[in-house]
Chain A
Amino acid sequence: MTGGDVLERVDLDGKAIVVTGGGRGLGRGMAHALSEAGARLMLAARTQSQLDATAEEIRSRGGTVATFAADVTDSTQVNALVAACVREYGRIDVMFANAGGGGGSNAEFWDYPDDAFEQVIATNLKSTFYSCRAASKAMVEQGTGGVLVTTASGTALRGNRGFAYPTAKGGVISLTKSMATMLAGHNIRANCIVPGYVSQNDPKDEQERAQRAQRGTFMPVQRLGEWWELGPLAVFLASEASSYITGETYIIDGGGLAGGLGPIKFRPQHEW
């Protein structure tokens, strides 16, 4: 038993996949790649117009996609999202709990308001929990197993001034490991994607392109990531190609987290 052809194993033919935060940014990038690999998508986000735009792009390339406007910080709406996927495609195979974002407050730590902290935790951590809880329930009821993929952030792995977001994303990494442990017996895998500095869209003009190029010089690979570069990783983690991989954290950051002992141009010279 060799597991079959590698290219067959990365095939997502007919898999029913929910992508939260699928209207724009990294979610949109992952949706495109998942569709290209054959998945049937249920895209979710708060803003219907963005969902429509992304869905139209995917349909124009022959993809199968439905949308569901939902606020993923509300568990009732998340449950309805998963139900919508099951209604549309008869099942749910993969949940990309990708929605998240910044916000919070610029206040000093000792003055940081309750509601700002709670908002960031809700947007990034509670939403991920709600999404994975609802998906896993459906997967267990189907008896088919499935895959949960979360999105964290490189900021979660190091200290940072805007602490609420990294704190929430650190929670996402930890949640993913626990889900992998708890759900393995139900044939549900859970893995986490950790993007570094990845742009959310194509630059809108030359000035933005130049700004990004400048910021890119601080990365080992000398550029920022592009919004679509998470796509192949999403396909890999959703597919049978990663059948023995669970509880893991996949960093995609152009080498940023491999370094960090000094500025990018710091190259000690000391010869004998």
Chain B
Amino acid sequence: MTKPKSSFFDLAGKRALVIGAEHPHGAAIARAYAEAGADVALAALTADEAVVRTRAVQREVEAMGRKSSTYVMDVMLGKNVEVTMRQIVKEIGGLDIVAACPDLFLAKPIERTSDTEVARVMQANFNSQYFIVRHAAEEFRRLKQPGRIVLTTSVIGERGLPNTTAYAAAAGAVINLVRSAAVEVAPDGIQVNGIALGWMDWMTDRLRPDDEEAQRAVRFTALRRQGRADEVGPLAVYLSSERATRYITGQIFPVDGGLLQHL
């Protein structure tokens, strides 16, 4: 790999942890971190085929000459996040960057959404990232070093869309989690920022290929196309780079092809 002319995006020597690396955006962020020079630990959210997908990402990271390893982290449980995060930090010898990439989509009418479903959507999308912030900050403080946290959410957290109430509320909660947490942990040298995804090409759960209205929704983006996973990674690198973003915290950056700006 050629050495970039600018050192602003250089993550050489940094230790990153990407949680939810089995998701396309998680995998893309892990690859981008590795390309920028970081060693990247990966955590799958479930101990099933997610681990297989995560190991594939691990091999890609290793092929770039970086250290990598795969873990399983049950982000539904704060205690599991705490224990697993501590173990990972111990094994990789420190921690500089944490990216959180859970995504559990549900779309059904309010009146048919059960208590359990609401709770699960909040747990998977919001509580998970709350726990990740809590314990990433704990590790950074314990190591007495600055740290970067990148959370991921959806533009659905900024706008209303029928049938997505629970998911939209969770995504909106993450947006304000970024703002509040950033202010709270800033004195410790920890920066927290968010990436809000628009209509991405892997999101067949919300953009069903056979749904004509969903295909029309894609045309609501200024760029008139779905986003790709590789278009998420560079922003995560930017937000995780000590030299590029020393003075940016508590902000949400959409990767949505201009969707939120469309009238």
Contact = CB atoms under 8 A, between A and B. Distances in A.
B41 to A, nearest CB: 29
Interface residues of B, number: 30
A260 B106 contact: no
A183 to B, nearest CB: 29
A29 interface: no
Interface stretch (A104-112, A155-163, A244-252): A155-163
A270 to B, nearest CB: 4
B45 interface: no
Contacts of A155: 263
Contact of B214 (A220, A259, A262, A272): A262
Given A158-B263, A267-B213, A259 B106 contact: no
A6 interface: no
A272 B222 CA distance: 31
A260 B159 contact: yes
B258 A262 contact: no
Contacts of B108: 269-271
B167 to A, nearest CB: 9
Contacts of B248: none
Nearest to B104: A272
Contact size range, A: 20 to 34
A265 B205 contact: no
Given A261-B217, A263-B213, A268 B163 contact: yes
Interface of B: 105-108, 117, 155-156, 159-164, 205-208, 211, 213-214, 216-217, 220, 222, 258-263
19 contacts: A158-B262, A159-B222, A159-B261, A259-B160, A260-B220, A260-B262, A261-B160, A261-B161, A262-B213, A263-B216, A266-B213, A267-B213, A268-B107, A269-B108, A269-B163, A270-B106, A271-B106, A271-B108, A272-B106
Interface of A: 154-155, 158-160, 220, 255, 258-263, 265-272
Leading 7 A-B pairs by shortest Cβ distance: A262-B217, A268-B107, A158-B263, A266-B213, A270-B107, A267-B162, A258-B160
